[in-house]
Structure 1
Amino acid sequence: MENFVFQNPTKIIFGKGTESAVGKELKAHTNKVLLHYGGGSIKKTGLYDRICASLKEAGVAWTELPGVQPNPRLSLVRKGIEICRQEQIDFILAVGGGSVIDSAKAIALGVVDDGDVWDFYMKKRTPTKALPVGVVLTIPAAGSEASNSSVVTSEDGWYKRYVDAEVLRPKFSILNPELTLTLTVEQTMIGIADMTAHIIERYFTQVPNVELTDRLIEGTFKTLIRNAHILYKEPHNYAARSEIMWSGTVAHNDWLSTGRIGDWGSHMIEHELSGIYDIPHGAGLAIIIPAWMQYVYKANVAKFAQFGNRIFDVEANFGSPEETALEAIRRLKSFYQSIGLPVSLSTVNIPGDRLAEMAAKCVENGPVGNFLKLYKEDVQKILQLAL
């Protein structure tokens, strides 16, 4: 096990009706916020009205910035930075899923900095301060409600890049599973794929003696599998949605990272995919991860065999460790397919004519991944396997 420091200051407020507390939570930090959200869904469901009523009751003023798209755009981030400076806003409230939260975090970075916020995403500079952010989560998937990460896409070259900084962890996040009942089955399953990816990226480590977090990861993964199948058939099952919502936060709040060195190569590859083709991030990960597994499993066959034994109940006597590892990959793909997710690029009509371009962009700053270092030719082969 590696040395580690774990500190997650995000206050989680979980359960039915908890969005009514948003005004009170904000009042402890500010008198004026930027209310940041996506399209019109929060207005159709009545959530927007409930949020506004809570803000009014608490005496918190607000300015709005709607329009966040999936794979949030840098241009809107820059607009948000300008609004916050003009209106002297000192807190940002993100109401939505990972894209809204990531956009809010990017705005929070840019407002307090004199340079170009994109520099942080291109690793030219390291952020040390940001405006505080609060969250009302409506789409459990990205885990950004308690993470230190933000992912944004620049329209100039369609680069999708991330930044990690402790200053980006939200001050509070409100998680009401009732707010997810309006999601389609497809949206729900894409979100679950994102959660499984966060778990897989942490699970496949070359660090030995990480038994506790291995077991925590395995338990979270099995919880996701069980409740994904329930929601696929019963999308209004509140108990299952509660399990999924909390699992998504746990999957990416770094509790499961303690003492480990995760991989993250699949995420870097998928960023090129969704950066160019605008595919939902979770759907892209359901395609890339099995291909990545197929390419790298020989780097630690025993870890993949353990994955099969403990998560997919592949019998210990199924065959050799390598046969068990390969069966585990097959069962992961089967799970994704069973909940309606794509597992190949051809399924979502993405051709193979830009694989070299994506591979080159992926490794512009050096190889990706830690389980096995991946260079341009490796990334291109994984994308080829994903076809």
Structure 2
Amino acid sequence: MLNFTIHTTTEVVFGRDIEKDIGPKLKEIGAHRVLVHFGGSSARSSGLLDRVEHSLFEAGLSFVELGGVEPNPKISMVRRGIELCQREGIDFILAVGGGSVLDSAKGIGMGVATGRDPWEFAATGTAPDQTLPVGSVLTLSASGSETSNSCVLTNEELKEKRGITSQTNRPRISFLNPENTFTVSKFQTGCGIVDIMMHTLERYLTAGGETDITDRIAEGLLIATRDAGRRAIADPNDYEARATLMWAGSISHNNLTECGRLRLFPVHKLEHELSAFRDEIAHGAGLSVLFPAWALYVMEHDVPRFAQLAHRVLGVEMDFSHPERTARDGILTLKRFFEEIGMPVHMAQLGIKPENYETLADNAIRTAGGPVKSYVPLDKPAILEIFRLAE
């Protein structure tokens, strides 16, 4: 087990009808003037935005709206939000939506507090040391941004997608009502299932020695997510399934499942290049295509761990004489699960063509500042081979 520090500071308010608590909770925290940040019209048409703003009003808090956040949140929207907050004297940002809205809110918060353009942090790999407090009202179980120290932004002019990691990125408070995910489409539910599992798998399939307690937490989360995911896709109004997915999303990315292990996230880094290249690619869809290919490529460097995953989580019988068979069967079993829940598993399904591979590999190397860190460094030939395995 490697040395680790875990720092989870987000207050989580979970369950039905919790929107009424938003105003009083934010007032208790010290908020006075709130930016209500959201995506498209669904936040309004569903009635959620009205419930949130009614709670703010009843608590005596003033607020300003900023909608229009798109998937793969854009730095241009973040810059608009920073200007609005400065002009309106905002002291708290409340994101109503999924991971894209949350990451946009985090970018705005760091920009207002530091007086710097957030893309400076993304481009240089540095971290902000302060932020305006951010809260969330979650509508999509996927990114885990409601409890994480991560923020991923897209520069649409440069066609680059980069992350900013800092403890200041963790939301101050997050309101998690599973009922707010009932209207999420089957495709987006599937994307969320993949993202939750990948946040766990990218912490599980990495160096770290013996970490049995962390492994068991991660394995239980993966099994619960798989089973609840099937139920949620079959019945979108299954409260318990939606609740499991929502809580799993939060735990999967708050660092609990990486204690004692090395965090590298190579598949996420490769996927960011896909969704930066084609903005319409959903993050979870890109991950479902790339993960099995990456796993097949690196499996030989940690056969026992891949075999453990296959046996404990995916129900593959352990072949003690040839554990590499168990490991490979596990990867293919997970790939079939992705297909079962309607996720793509081939590059062509994302609109990515073989003639795009060189550009994408070059972009990944440039963004990483060299080979992408993994079990072995992924240089350009390695990345190209992973793309070919994903065809």
Given the alignment of the two structures, is residue 367 of structure 1 paired with residue 371 of structure 2, yes or no? yes
Decide whether the 8 Å contact of 1:266 with 1:369 is kept in 2.
no
Contact 1:261/1:370 (<8 A) preserved: no
Between the aligned partners of 1:45 and 1:165, the Cα distance in structure 2 is 33
With 129-138 and 314-323 compared, the bigger mean Cα shift is at 314-323
Alpha-carbon deviation of 1:186? 1.3
Using structure 2 for the length normalisation, give the TM-score. 0.97
Q: Are the counterparts in 1 of residues 306 and 327 from structure 2 also a CA contact under 8 Å?
A: yes
Between the aligned partners of 2:66 and 2:263, the Cα distance in structure 1 is 35
In 2, the alpha carbon distance for the partners of 1:184 and 1:344 equals 21
CA contact (8 A) 2:79 2:117 kept: no
Q: Deviations over 1:91-133 (max 9, x none)?
A: 1000000000000000011112233220101125331111110
C-alpha distance in structure 1 between counterparts of 2:161 and 2:311, whole Å: 35
| Cα distance in 1, alignment partners of residues 151 and 326 from structure 2 | 36
How many Å apart are 1:199 and its aligned residue? 0.8
Runs of 4+ that moved beyond 6 A: none
Pairwise mapping of residues 94-173 of structure 1 onto structure 2 (< 5 A)? 94-123=95-124, 125-173=126-174
For residue 379 of structure 1, what is the aligned residue in structure 2? 383
2: CA distance, partners of 1:257 / 1:307? 15
- Which residue of structure 2 lines up, in the alignment, with residue 24 of structure 1? 24
Q: Residue 302 of structure 2 corresponds to which residue in structure 1?
A: 300
1:188 is matched by which residue type in structure 2?
T
SS at match of 2:132: coil
**Distance in 1 (alpha carbons) for counterparts of 2:233 and 2:40:** 25
In the other structure, the counterpart of 2:328 is 326
Aligned partners of 2:87, 2:375: CA distance in 1, in Å?
46
Structure 1 stretch displaced more, 263-272 or 124-133: 124-133
Amino acid at match of 2:290: I
> How many pairs align?
387
Structure 1, 153-162 or 118-127: larger mean CA deviation:
118-127
User: What CA distance in whole angstroms lies between the structure 2 residues aligned with 1:37 and 1:315?
Assistant: 46
* Deviation string, structure 1 residues 121-163 (Cα, Å, up to 9, x no partner): 1125331111110000000100000000000000122100000
Alignment of 1:93 onto 2:94: yes
**In structure 2, what is the equivalent of residue 230 of structure 1?**
231
Structure 2 Cα separation of the partners of residues 347 and 83 of structure 1: 39
Q: Unaligned stretches of 5+ in structure 2?
A: none
Residue 190 of structure 1 and its aligned partner are, at CA, apart by 0.8
- Judge which range, 115-124 or 285-294, deviates more: 115-124
Match of 1:189, SS? helix
Kept in 1: contact 2:39–2:69 (CA 8 A): yes
Equivalent residue runs for 1:207-222 within 5 Å: 207-222=208-223
Q: Deviations over 1:213-271 (max 9, x none)?
A: 11110000000111111122122111111111101111001111111103300000000
Contact 2:93-2:133 at 8 Å conserved across structures: yes
- The structural deviation recorded for 1:319 is 5.9
Name the counterpart of 2:278.
Answer: 277
Identical pairs, percent? 43
Partner AA of 1:259 in structure 2: G
Q: Which residue of 2 aligns with 1:337?
A: 339
DSSP-derived class of the 1:42 partner: helix
Given residue 385 of structure 1, which amino acid in structure 2 is its aligned partner? L
Contact 1:266 1:289 in 2 (8 A): yes
Letter in 1 for 2:226: I
Matched residues in 2 for 1:371 and 1:187: separation?
30
Q: Residue 95 of structure 1: SS of its match in structure 2?
A: strand
Task: Report the AA paired with residue 21 of structure 1.
Answer: D
Q: Superposition pairs for residues 2-13 of structure 1, below 5 Å?
A: 2-13=2-13
1:281-328 deviation digits (Å, cap 9, x = unpaired): 011100010110011101111111111111111112386111111101
**How far apart, in 1, do the equivalents of 2:254 and 2:121 lie?**
21
Query: CA separation in 1, counterparts of 2:162 and 2:196?
Result: 19
Aligned with 2:355: secondary structure?
coil
Where does residue 255 of structure 1 map in the other structure?
A: 256
Displacement of 1:347: 2.1
- Say which SS state the counterpart of residue 208 (structure 2) adopts: coil
Q: Is the 8 A contact 1:15 1:176 kept in 2?
A: yes
Post-superposition CA distance 1:28-63 (Å, at most 9, x none): 221101110000001111101101100100011111
Partners of 1:132 and 1:367 lie apart in 2 by 35
Q: Distance in 2 between matches of 1:124 and 1:255?
A: 23
- The 3-state SS of whatever aligns with 2:36 is strand
**Which amino acid in structure 2 is aligned with residue 309 of structure 1?**
H
Q: 1:367 aligns to what SS in structure 2?
A: coil
TM-align CA RMSD: 1.2
SS at match of 2:354: coil
The aligned runs of 1:186-225 (5 Å cut-off) are: 186-225=187-226
Given that residues 204 and 263 in structure 1 are in contact (C-alpha distance below 8 angstroms), is that contact kept between their aligned partners in structure 2? no
Q: Which runs of 5+ in 1 are unaligned?
A: none
Which residue identity lines up with residue 270 of structure 2 in the other structure?
I
Match of 2:68 in 1: 67
